[in-house]
Amino acid sequence: MSLEMLEAESIHIIREVASEFERPALLFSGGKDSIVMLRLAEKAFRPAPMPFALVHVDTGHNFPEVLDYRDKRVAELGVRLIVASVQDSIDAGRVIEPTGRRASRNRLQTTTLLDVIAEHRFDVAFGGARRDEEKARAKERIFSFRDEVGQWDPRNQRPELWNLFNTRIRPGEHIRVFPLSNWTELDVWRYIARDELDVPPIYFAHRRRVFERDGMLLAENPYQSPDPAEVVSEATVRYRTVGDMTCTGAVLSGARTVDDIIQEVATTRITERGATRADDRTSEAAMEDRKREGYF
């Protein structure tokens, strides 16, 4: 599909949600997919303001460059941002922080997300997931039904023939909506180039101190320590996806512009999650297991 067709489909989906649901929210992390989704939401309603709040589930282990971008973009648009804190969930005893060599707060986000949805009574949440990212997401519906405890059951989803969506839910249930379902990583970067969208600087090649673990380059950070055999060195890297510093790997790259990134992505044969996300490597069904619990 052309960018124009993808854009039109996504805007149609966003407007459909706004017309059918009472309390929508848009999940915004400051990553490339949520940046594009936010731009589409702007176009869907401007010059009127967006009729929903932004929500960010903050693990406390995010890249500072991404948080700076998030705050700058929110200030530019003048929209409401709700930050749901994993640290608050830990402090309240809602979740227990994992320990050990591969400990990450990534999975803890599920409880924090479900809590903020319940607190604000959101009946739908926009997410930036794409079907090309990972095999569990490949079978995700655009309108993804979640039950009264926030769980996803792939056998209990609704047909979407001719882009007709069943939006009916009972009290306590909600729907996750993915306007970028049919986009690819390459589509996202071409859209960023076409609309000249600003993105966090970690998407571009830069010098960073990293160490190799399980075939991935993890950033030196205050939340985890390399093993004695894991040598920390400086390399020219960039990030294809942004998440927790503890589970998001960098890739060696010299791509310093959006055009460079487009050329790089056009020739790669590994998805960004497959190449850089340690949380997806815990098992063959890692993503599907997390989604069944209520993950993004």
Model confidence at 281: pLDDT above 80:
no
Q: 204 with 102, same domain?
A: no
- Distances from the Cα of 5 to the Cα of 1, 126, 233, 236, angstroms: 6, 19, 44, 36
Q: 135 with 16, same domain?
A: yes
Model confidence at 84: pLDDT above 80:
yes
Residue ranges making up the domain that contains 53: 2-187+285-293
| Token pair 């729907």 in the structure block, residue | 175
H/E segment holding residue 12: helix 3-20
Higher pLDDT, residue 186 or 293 = 186
Tens digit of each residue's pLDDT (9 = 90 or more) over 112-168: 999 999 999 999 999 998 988 776 667 788 999 888 877 878 777 888 788 888 888
Q: 116 with 247, same domain?
A: no
Say if strands 53-58 and 24-27 run parallel, antiparallel, or are unpaired.
Answer: parallel
**Per-residue tokens: 74:** 């929110």
By the 8 A CB rule, do 209 and 178 touch? no
- Measured distance CA(90)–CA(101) in Å, rounded: 19
Q: 180 with 250, same domain?
A: no
Task: Give the model's pLDDT for residue 295.
Answer: 64
H/E segment holding residue 73: helix 64-77
AA letter at 32: K
Tens digit of each residue's pLDDT (9 = 90 or more) over 239-278: 999 888 888 899 999 999 999 999 999 998 877 756 665 5
Q: 218 with 181, same domain?
A: no
Supply the pTM of this predicted model. Answer: 0.90
Model confidence at 99: pLDDT above 70:
yes
Burial class of residue 166 (count of CB atoms within 10 Å of its CB; 0-12, 13-18, 19+) = middle
Return the SS3 of 196. coil
Residue 195 included in any domain:
no
Q: 33 with 165, same domain?
A: yes
Q: 87 with 111, same domain?
A: yes
**Per-residue tokens: 201:** 């600087």
